[in-house]
Structure 1
Amino acid sequence: MKTNKLTSAVRLAIGAGAVTAAMPVAQLATAQEEMIEEVVITGSRIKRPDLEAVSPYTTIGAEEFALSGTINVEQKLAELPSTLPSFGPSSNNPGDGTARVDLRGLGTSRTLVLVNGRRWIPATQSGVVDLNTIPGTLIKRVDVVTGGASAVYGSDAIAGVVNFNMIDDFEGVEITGLYDMTSDSDAEKYNIDITMGGNFAEGRGNAVIYASYSKREALFQGDRKFSNVALTENTDANGRPILSPGGSSGVPGTRLFDNPTDPVTGNSLGTFGPNGEALPWVEPDSRFNYAPDNFLQLPQERYLISAFSHYDVNEKVRAYGEFAYSYNKVPQELAPTPAFTTVEINPDSAFFSTEAQRALDTIRTDTNGDGVVNGDDNALGFIGRRMVENGSRQSIDVRDAFRVLVGADGDISDNWSYDAYYSYSNLDQSNSLNNDVSASRFIQAVATNDAGTACQDPSGGCVPMNIFGAGNISQAAVDFVNIGATNVTSISQEVLSASVFGDLWTIPSADYPVAVVLGYEHRSDESSYRPDTFLASGDVLGFNAGEATAGRYKASEFFAEVSIPLLSDKPFAEDLTLWGAARTSDYSNLDDRVNSFATAVNWSPLESFKLRFGYQEAVRAPNVSELFLGQSNGFPGADDPCSVGGFQPGVTDVGLCVASGVNPADVGKFTQANSQIEGRFGGNPDLEEETSNTYTVGFVWQPLDSLDITVDYYDIEVEDAISVLGGSVTNVLDLCYNVVQNAGSDFCTAINRRADGNVDRVDVLNANIGKIETSGVDFNLYYSTDFGFGFGGNGSTLGINFNSTWLDEFDVTPVAELGDRVDVCAGNFGNTCGSPLPEIQWNTRATWQSGGWTFSGLLRYIGETDDDQIENGGVAKGELAAPTIGDEYYLDLTVAYAFERGLNLSFGAENVLDTEPTKLGDSQEQANTFPSTYSLFGPRYFVSAAYKF
């Protein structure tokens, strides 16, 4: 019976809940032997082959990456129904060059990424791991444990753990390569890897060295029809909502938001022609289409070097070490600088037509302070100017990172073993910003003499700049205002960990002894961000100003686990095991110790049927970024309730709109200048820890030897969740004008308006908000069967994996004191909820293998979602141009052949159905869609080869 249980546990590790492709029979047997030897991760540190999973989990095998032609591992993880796609190869703005994983949609900071069960290199000051630093071709398998794992692995694991198990016992030399392109012969990706390894000291040791080079070519939004025009929501002549070309109010000809009127003709001056003519502003025709200049696929260049080694010093001690180095360069490219600022304009300048001069003369003010408004004064105007003459903005992120680890493990006695290690990792990031504009020099250069030949303030070598009309800025003026910046981030982490594992006694009614783990971990995190002088001063127009960030904290933690087999081989109790874990942590940045604990019950009333029940109470301490991040600016999509697009009659407080700076006649009538509203973000050293409660209930059923079915229900609640004030910029606006309606509230005081009534900036520093609640059901199935037919008379094997998630609830309460104000996000997307959270997602892979041939297909389904304004804002579907993102299907196909002499070839096609994303207007992330969620490029084709000798 024990042997059956052991084999069952291994089969579940390979199959139930897995997306591992079917392997040849010989390879499958080898994989089973390896898994028995090393013991798979099941959400526990206890190393015992009879232990069943204590939390819902999924396994991705190495063959899945090979069949998918995946260079960047985040793309494969993003396909799992239990993850919310995060930053990836199309994250241009927003984006920072990293690739991330987000379990259950709870945020990347609540997902812990491990390599070989240990912490990996932090890539940001929030502690997030950049998956670009993990080599896909060296992965043995990836274990994804959801439902929380903080008590076992640390506070970051509120949503779960993603553990990359790497090949560390390789023998021989293997060279692999891949080339990938779209059906339009663009957006190419390619890489070449070499792995060398072998045993030494008569088999007592093994060393593996791996090197990789990868490159990804750029693709612009202008290269695809769905993204080549920035879309916005509008109405047609009959008042019906439509998507129409939109863009920015910062235009090459300059937008003058004051809209002065020529007293002679009565014409309004909203923008300027190429010769300084006074032109009206026409919505949306006058707007600038910024889309074509943005990346749709970010270019990337990456070098990876890894080494793993272990050596049996004696029967009791095995020494091991790991080394990793990565160089990753990822540029971002955005449209030219949008200069939104107040300037002094000389109405008598030769830059203007007579009509424009008369209109500008009406807004002269006493700029020289002599108490008289006359021809010696300038006009003050708030303008939006797109600096196309200065070129596109570039942000180039280069991350150099390394990690070293040394450790030892072994047996203390027949029943007890130990493991101890020390690791140090360091990352240096250089962020270069090109083609930005100095705010002070811009303002100085705009104020010219009457002839337009000199600056009114000639200091610093000022060059007069004619921004009034497209293409009028001279190269000399461009050189005067153009600035660049180089910002440096340094991050280091030290981890010292030691643990012992052992068996105690055996309860008479059970077959296995009580097993325990006792351990200690000390971690030190330190990071600093040193912005360029221009950036730190805020004297920039095109990039987000930022302040220096520096901070550190230490954590000392004791943890313990126990597994208590209660019953074995009894009627209706083939197995009954109680499991528990606890962790107590002392953080240097918190006043008191914090504690996490978890418990689970595994009950097998029948050998083929297993039930599991789990509960976890966990805490997450704020990280360096959340505590100490210097204030910086961002531009998320948001709706101003005082504008025509966001106003809710009978709900929005008109008086509050007026009191905050909107003209009474314009409330609910003016058009918001831009769909993006500037937010000021930053750390808060007064943050407290967040807490979570997680419940899981599930079963594993094996009705046939070749069929495994798992079903798991999860319910997660995060209280005092760390986020930005109110949860988002759009939430703060809504809370101020539609909910709280108190000018003295934190939400209203966070809003700053311009003279023309538009929102200038919303200050949303980090805060402990209300809570996040999510629940759902995972359903996974694995089936395999053998056939008597196949190539060469060898027979064949068919394997089918099906993985799905039903999202029942995802609710965010942005303010604890306003418990009735809940943002419902399950089945929705938009400026409040962010990326789509479909209620149903699934994928299934079918793989048929015979002889050296493998044929495989992956079908993915993403369910329908609605604009979150419908459920949360009371907006009718008929009032929106793109109220729904329909359900989408994606089909990938692969054929591979393994030659007898160590050569393997694979050919594949992704998105064979040529599924294009639904076009969106104002409720989008970027590129008129959510590019990390939906396929953007049409069909992709790849060829890969691996040769081992």
Structure 2
Amino acid sequence: MNSLWKASIFMVGASTIAIGTQASAQAVAGGQPGGDAAVQSGVPAPAPAADASAAGEIVVTGSRVVSNGNQAPTPVTVVSTQRLLETTPSSISDGLNQLPQFAGQPSQRSIGSAQGNSSAATLNLRHFGSNRNLVLLDGNRLPPAGSGGAVDTNIIPQALVQRVEVVTGGASAVYGSDAVTGVINYILDKNFNGLKFNSQAGLSTYGDNASWRVGVAAGMPLFDGRGHIEASFDHYDSKGIKDVAGRPLGKDYWIVGGAGTQANPFRLVKNGRTLLGSPGGMIVNTTTPGLADTAFNSNGVPTPFIHGASSGVNGIESGGDGGYYDDGTLLAPVRTNQAFARFDYEITNDISAYVQGSYSDSAAKYPYASARYVADILSGNPFIPASIQQIMTQTGTKSIQVGRLQSRENGLPGRINDPFNRNVYAMAGLKGKVFGRFDWNLNYIYSQNDLRVINHNNTYTPRYAAALDAVRDPATGRVVCQVSLTPNANLFPGCEPLNVFGPTAPSASAYDWITDDTRFKLTNRMNDVNLSVSGEVFSLWAGPVTAALSGEYRTLSLRNRSSAQAAAQPDCTGIRDAANCSASTPQWQHDVSTSMFGKQNVKEVAGELLIPLLRDVPLIQSLELNLAGRYTDYSTSGGVGTWKIGGTWQVSHELRIRGTRSRDIRAPTLNDLFAPTSISPTGFTDLHTNQSRPVNVIRQGNPDLKPEVAMTTTVGVVFQPEWIPGFSLAVDYYNIKINNAISSTSGFSVDVQRECETSNGASPLCSLLERPLPFSDRSAANFPTRVFSQSVNSARSWTRGVDVEANYSFDMANLIKSVPGRLAIRALVAYQPTLKTQTLISLPARENAGIVANPTSGGFGSKVNANLSLSYTSEGLSVFVTERWQSKQHPSDPAISFDLRPDIPAYSYTDISFNYRIRLGDDNTISPFVSIQNLFNKQPPLIGGQNNVPGLYYPTGQGFDVIGRYFTVGVKGKF
């Protein structure tokens, strides 16, 4: 067989891990036939040679016209889902996120805002963001899940996924918008016959995060082979880890903000406590003797507040009586369901019809954060202890402010995030051949994704203010709400006075009266029509010219329905104390969003050519040119063109060189354009006042956004020496530069704050921080009341790096004659020395390569990531060992000072799995398996957050494991 058609990966016993980061083109998948013969619908598959067919060859590409991935100019990675799930049984996406090209994404392991969907499983290539790579199912676009535009891969039927193909290079001209850093294409086994199942359970070494999964798939031919039907169902349930105290370092360390200077660096503080409140409440913001430094560690009893050691930041101490935020969940519980069905029918020898549909849902419910607040209490409130009231009367103090941390420790629940994500996907189409040489495909796709989020125990500001203003009813002597004795009592029916002086002083009825559930439902809907035609148009001296044409029309809409509007002002009628309720206070004190609706339609036309230039001349076994172009018209932002020029030069049987140059785009998502205004309190360190406390962050969309444009260059070489059978080496270089990048510009940013400080308040960026007093005032009273965040086309981002893959496999008998079986070694290395972002032209570019990733942003990470795997297979037994290594990282920008250490050392994790296949007949097998992740229970390092804000040590940075050693046992079967 011609070497151009040879696979660059090798059989590993009974199963194959088909990962050819830049080398692979074809995968031999464990003796199972490969289903689709090409990446995209409408791509002709070459007739395999007899020996390849017998082995179960799968031909994969990164193109609509290239029929062999070895010839593809764009680097392609092919991943066998069997091997992914052997090493990472939780999910296919978790397995992909362990590959060096991917950055770990916020998900179950990194709890974020209640605005988001913590049960989602997203993918992020090159650390450029999950909305800059395109996720496809059999070459077709999938809908976004939630507000960020990323696809939740939980909607894909895991039981029938045959392989995952990853195009690690710019591919917008071939695949469409968003393919800036590449494409992740899930390929289903659409010809599966028989029955298979999977059942497994897992538990961490600490006895938590119990999980279980059950999946089943079935398929059979119908109508004498002219039809085929298949279906699958998968259920996964992970109980999560309740709180940070569930891990050895979880209750010891805080990330503490500072000025980032040698004199006042960012720090990791042991036993961090906030002076904004304690579980029993404390008097804050006063220097009056007898009132200052007074806490209420017992109900109604004033006690001296014991200070801890200074952290260098106002409001944060190490130890003492301050509050501790302990209600955040370390690992969210997640439950997913996925059902899928497909039917194919051959109408004629040249025309087939197909219809498929899926339903999926995912849910996660967990404590989100402690309820923390500063309450203004007016003099005369009957809950004020007598000794405190006496001092207030003597000094003429009209009110005191009580900082309080309401958490599970003092008997009442904090905030609870309750997201539920549901997706419905349906596709119907026709495909066939015309003139015996052109493949065509016409399909229609409808999808709808609904994200419903309930924020339990949200505090309603007017009720909260009314409950705080307690008085004694002169008629009955009972403690009542002051507003209940006024003509405005009808505005607050059933008002329950709130006592904040002591750990368990607030009554359950009062807490229930001031809180309620807020909710929103975000719906993404897509209608998509696709038509493609491809085939050989004519022949040249070096071979046939292959072309592909495609057109697409889709409509997208995004609707948010919210029970509480972020921009709404509270109705403070009848409230005496403006400090607790006024036009500047939010109606709801925690995450809410605004109802909105946005839509767009997109028209696309694309073409691709594969032109053979030379063949079988000295030093050129073959030379091919690959051209692609696409024009896309967005109803919201106008038209834009993308293109790609690529080529492959097969020097000899052993050496191949390839490269591409492309112009790629990411259009603004509907959320970028029309994002509902949202408000959420976030921990914030203000460089202007050197204060650290929560502040309301206002986020909103920008309808004037334009598509961002990227220029991508890739150059690679693949070496397969015939004198080392079973060995291959691939090296690929990439360079991606994005202009006009969509970036969220926020007063929360340290860079924005520095720009504002440097300009002494004159910079337009200062408007992103709303202050109650003139900029010249640097006292604590001038801490921002609101911080604004909005996306603009102002950023530039660029990255470059090198991917390396080496494969070597051989029969053990060649090494030791008496030892049976086969050994395979694989090394994947991703070196990314540059990852720069310039958020504003007026700001310097920031180098993010080698900077630890923010736990809630997806972040950046190590410059070097590597996977070294060793697999041994003998008869029914297979053993797979993986070493995941990442180079050292800085805890923040090198220009910023940390007091702990200059950097975080290199880290590695070891995973091991055992699988034993028992044959019950020719095609019937039962395979029990055991998987151990993080075999040596490696603990994550102590780090600082990318945004350098106060908070708990956990969750840690992306790429570090918070679970610890994890055991999974199960059994798979195929009949």
Query: Normalising by the residue count of structure 2, what TM-score does the alignment of the two structures yield?
Result: 0.85
Query: Would you say 1:628 and 2:674 are equivalent positions?
Result: yes
Aligned equivalent of 1:414? 436
Q: 2:371 aligns with which of 315, 337, 343?
A: 337
Aligned equivalent of 1:177? 199
Instruction: After superposition, give the CA deviation of every residue in 1:719-764 in whole Å (9 maximum; x if it has no partner).
Output: 12112115963332222114x4443513444343687233333101
The runs of 5 or more residues in structure 2 that have no matched partner are 12-16, 36-47, 308-316, 570-585, 774-779
Which residue type is aligned with residue 410 of structure 1? G
Query: Would you say 1:866 and 2:886 are equivalent positions?
Result: no
Q: 1:121 aligns with which of 143, 150, 160?
A: 143
Query: 1:343/1:728 Cα in 2 relative to 1: closer, same or farther (>3 Å)?
Result: closer
* CA drift at 1:696: 0.9
Query: Would you say 1:554 and 2:577 are equivalent positions?
Result: no
* CA drift at 1:944: 1.9
The answer to whether the 8 A contact 1:204-1:311 is kept is yes
Query: 1:838/1:638 Cα in 2 relative to 1: closer, same or farther (>3 Å)?
Result: farther
* CA drift at 1:607: 2.0
Which residue type is aligned with residue 908 of structure 2? Y
Query: 1:845/1:362 Cα in 2 relative to 1: closer, same or farther (>3 Å)?
Result: farther
Aligned equivalent of 1:146? 168
* CA drift at 1:887: 1.3
Instruction: After superposition, give the CA deviation of every residue in 1:460-480 in whole Å (9 maximum; x if it has no partner).
Output: 232211113322112221122
Which residue type is aligned with residue 719 of structure 1? N
Query: 1:614/1:475 Cα in 2 relative to 1: closer, same or farther (>3 Å)?
Result: same
The answer to whether the 8 A contact 1:276-1:353 is kept is no
Aligned equivalent of 1:666? none
Secondary structure, aligned partner of 2:664 = strand
* CA drift at 1:164: 0.8
Distance in 2, Cα, partners of 1:496 & 1:428: 21
Secondary structure, aligned partner of 2:148 = coil
The structure with the largest helix share of the pair is: 1
Pairs within 5 Å for 1:53-68: 53-68=72-87
Query: 1:278/1:783 Cα in 2 relative to 1: closer, same or farther (>3 Å)?
Result: same
* CA drift at 1:184: 2.3
Pairs within 5 Å for 1:315-326: 315-326=349-360
Distance in 1, Cα, partners of 2:732 & 2:396: 67
Instruction: After superposition, give the CA deviation of every residue in 1:44-97 in whole Å (9 maximum; x if it has no partner).
Output: 111523762222222210221231242322211211111111122212224522
- Compare 49-58 and 850-859 and name the one that shifted more: 49-58
* CA drift at 1:308: 2.3
Query: 1:748/1:209 Cα in 2 relative to 1: closer, same or farther (>3 Å)?
Result: same
The answer to whether the 8 A contact 2:868-2:883 is kept is yes
Aligned equivalent of 1:214? 236
Which residue type is aligned with residue 684 of structure 1? N
* CA drift at 1:36: 10
Aligned equivalent of 1:746? 765
The answer to whether the 8 A contact 1:846-1:857 is kept is yes
Aligned equivalent of 1:843? 867
Distance in 2, Cα, partners of 1:144 & 1:290: 44
* CA drift at 1:24: 9.7
Instruction: After superposition, give the CA deviation of every residue in 1:568-613 in whole Å (9 maximum; x if it has no partner).
Output: 12111111111111110110101x3111111112112222111111
Distance in 2, Cα, partners of 1:363 & 1:682: 44
Aligned equivalent of 1:226? 249
Aligned equivalent of 2:931? 908
Secondary structure, aligned partner of 2:471 = coil
The runs of 5 or more residues in structure 1 that have no matched partner are 365-377, 645-671
Aligned equivalent of 1:735? 755
Query: 1:57/1:255 Cα in 2 relative to 1: closer, same or farther (>3 Å)?
Result: farther
Aligned equivalent of 1:92? 111
Aligned equivalent of 1:466? 499
Distance in 2, Cα, partners of 1:482 & 1:749: 30
Secondary structure, aligned partner of 2:720 = strand
Distance in 2, Cα, partners of 1:436 & 1:333: 12
Aligned equivalent of 2:546? 515
Secondary structure, aligned partner of 1:285 = strand
Distance in 1, Cα, partners of 2:880 & 2:635: 51
Aligned equivalent of 2:793? 768
Which residue type is aligned with residue 701 of structure 1? F
Query: 1:9/1:710 Cα in 2 relative to 1: closer, same or farther (>3 Å)?
Result: closer
Query: 1:259/1:559 Cα in 2 relative to 1: closer, same or farther (>3 Å)?
Result: same
Query: 1:132/1:279 Cα in 2 relative to 1: closer, same or farther (>3 Å)?
Result: farther
Distance in 1, Cα, partners of 2:953 & 2:554: 40
Distance in 2, Cα, partners of 1:743 & 1:281: 41
The answer to whether the 8 A contact 1:693-1:718 is kept is yes
How many residues align? The count is 890
Pairs within 5 Å for 1:289-328: 290-328=324-362
Which residue type is aligned with residue 547 of structure 2? V
Pairs within 5 Å for 1:239-254: 243-248=269-274, 249-254=276-281
The answer to whether the 8 A contact 2:296-2:503 is kept is no
Pairs within 5 Å for 1:715-726: 715-725=735-745
Distance in 1, Cα, partners of 2:332 & 2:70: 43
Aligned equivalent of 2:535? 502
Query: 1:438/1:937 Cα in 2 relative to 1: closer, same or farther (>3 Å)?
Result: same
Distance in 1, Cα, partners of 2:610 & 2:698: 48
Q: 2:810 aligns with which of 756, 768, 785?
A: 785
Which residue type is aligned with residue 869 of structure 2? R
Query: 1:864/1:501 Cα in 2 relative to 1: closer, same or farther (>3 Å)?
Result: same
Identity fraction in percent: 22
Distance in 2, Cα, partners of 1:175 & 1:27: 18
The answer to whether the 8 A contact 2:631-2:642 is kept is yes
Query: 1:362/1:574 Cα in 2 relative to 1: closer, same or farther (>3 Å)?
Result: farther
The answer to whether the 8 A contact 1:222-1:291 is kept is no
Cα root mean square deviation, aligned:
3.2
* CA drift at 1:197: 0.4
Q: 2:705 aligns with which of 687, 692, 697?
A: 687
Instruction: After superposition, give the CA deviation of every residue in 1:84-125 in whole Å (9 maximum; x if it has no partner).
Output: 111222122245221211111111111111111111232123
Distance in 1, Cα, partners of 2:53 & 2:635: 41
Which residue type is aligned with residue 913 of structure 1? F
Distance in 1, Cα, partners of 2:154 & 2:909: 24
Aligned equivalent of 2:311? none
Q: 2:217 aligns with which of 177, 189, 195?
A: 195
Query: 1:328/1:486 Cα in 2 relative to 1: closer, same or farther (>3 Å)?
Result: same
Aligned equivalent of 1:642? 688
- Compare 516-525 and 95-104 and name the one that shifted more: 95-104
Distance in 2, Cα, partners of 1:881 & 1:363: 46
The answer to whether the 8 A contact 1:337-1:541 is kept is no
- Compare 491-500 and 308-317 and name the one that shifted more: 308-317
Q: 2:89 aligns with which of 33, 48, 70?
A: 70
Aligned equivalent of 1:706? 726
Distance in 1, Cα, partners of 2:93 & 2:390: 56
Pairs within 5 Å for 1:514-533: 514-533=545-564
Secondary structure, aligned partner of 1:708 = strand
- Compare 44-53 and 144-153 and name the one that shifted more: 44-53
Distance in 2, Cα, partners of 1:522 & 1:38: 34
The answer to whether the 8 A contact 1:344-1:443 is kept is no
Query: 1:363/1:855 Cα in 2 relative to 1: closer, same or farther (>3 Å)?
Result: farther
Instruction: After superposition, give the CA deviation of every residue in 1:591-641 in whole Å (9 maximum; x if it has no partner).
Output: x31111111121122221111111111222211100111111345665422
Query: 1:573/1:11 Cα in 2 relative to 1: closer, same or farther (>3 Å)?
Result: farther
Which residue type is aligned with residue 758 of structure 1? F
Query: Would you say 1:826 and 2:853 are equivalent positions?
Result: no
